[in-house]
Structure 1
Amino acid sequence: MTTAGDLIADGRLQSNVWTSTERALSGLAYGTAAGLVLALVAGLSRLGEGLIDGPVQIKRGIPSLALIPLLILWFGIGESMKVITIALGAFVPVYIHTHNGLRTIDSRYVELAETLGLSRPRFLLHIVLPGALPGFLLGMRFAVTAAWLALAVVEQVNATSGIGYMMGLARTYGQTDIIIVGLVVYGLLGLLSDGLVRLVERKVLSWRRTLAG
C-alpha cells in the first residue's frame, strides 16, 4: 500500500495507467469493430461465410501473441504493433460468439419476418441484431480479457510508458513491490472492464431475466 501511495503521489501510476488504458481501448475498439462486421457478413451470406469463417477459424488456433515477431517486422516496435496485437486478440471472440448468435436465431422469427414482408433493413434491425446481441455481449466479455492479456505482453516490447513499462523498470532495479502493484492494477482493470460489460449485458438484455423468472 505504501508503494502504491508513493506512485500515486508522484503521478507515475496515474500516467502509466492512463497510457495502458488508451492502448487497451484502442485495440479493443478496432478488434470489436472487425469482429462484428466480419460476423455479420459471414452470418448473413453463404458466400461471406465461405470466404471469412475458414481464415478466422485458422486465426483462432494461432495465439495472437505468437504473431508478435511477424507484426514487429511489418509494423515496427511502436504503438501500431501494440494496438494491432491487442485488436487481433479481441476480434476473434467477438466474431465467434456473434456469428454463433446469428446462426442460432430461431427460424420461426425468420419465417415470421418473411410472412410480414419485412424489408431487409427492418429484418436486420428487428430480427438479426436482437438475435445476435447476446452472443456479441458474451464475445465482448472474452474480448476484454484478451485485450488486457495482450496488453500485458506488448508493453514489455520497447514501451516507453504504461504499466508494463513501469514494471519493466522495476524489474531492472529489483523493485518487487512496484511489480506487484502493476500486477494488481492489471487485475483490477480487467475486473472493472468485465464488470462494465456485464452491467451493459444486464441492462440491454433485461427482458431475458424477466422471461426467466
Structure 2
Amino acid sequence: MTTTPPATNAARALRALEDSSPTVRLRAALAVGTAPDPCFVGKLVERCAVEPEFFVRDMLTWALVRHPVDLTLPGLLREVRSDRAQARSQALHTLSKLGDRRAWPEITPALLADPDDEVARSAWRAAAVLVPEGEQPSLAAVLVTQLGRGERRTRLSLSQALVALGDAAVPALRAAEAAADPRVRAHALATTALSRDPDAGFGPAIEEAKRVVALDGAPGTDDEDRADR
C-alpha cells in the first residue's frame, strides 16, 4: 500500500482553492484549516481577495484563524491597504476574528470612513474588537461621523460597533442626537435605544427614533414625505 506524500497533498489543496467549483473550494479551505501548514497562508490570504462566494470566504477566514497569528498577520495587514475593496473587507473581517491588537494602528479614520460600505462595516467591527483600553472615546468620536450612512444593514453595523464601546460612546452619541441632519439624529437616537435594550431590535428603535425626530419638527425622510402625499 502506498501513501501520498505530504507535499503532494499540499499542492493538491492549493490547486483546489482555485477550482471552478465552489464546493471543491469550500472543501479545500476546510481541509487546509483542519491541517494548518505555513505553506497555505499566502494562498489563503490571496483567495480572500478574489473569492466570489460568501460561504467560501468565511471558510477561508476560518482556515486563516487556525494558523499561527504571527504567520497570518503580516499578509492581512498588507491586504488592509489594498486597492481592492474585497481584499480590504475580508482582511478586516479576519483581523476581527484574530483579535490581535497589533493590528490596531492599521484601523485608520480613513478606513473607518471607507467609501465602500462593506469595507466600512468590516472596519467598524474590527475597530470595536481591537481598540486598546482608553481609546474607546476617540474611536466613538470617529464612528459617529458615519451616522446616517447607507442602508439598514450598514446602519445596524455601525450601531452595533458603537454599542460595543459601552459608556465610552455616550458623549459622542449625545452630541450626535443634536445634529442638524435628521438622519444622523435618528440614527444616534436609535443607537442609544439599542444600547439600553438590545433585545428590542434595531428596526423598532430606528422607527421610534424617526418618529421622535419628526415630532421635533425635523424634515421627514423621503419615505415619510411620500407617505404624507
TM-score grouping bracket, smaller chain normalisation = under 0.3
Higher relative contact order, structure no. (Cα contacts within 8 Å, ≥ 6 residues apart): 1
State the TM-score, normalizing by the size of structure 1. Answer: 0.25
Q: TM-score, normalised by structure 2?
A: 0.24
More helix by share: 1
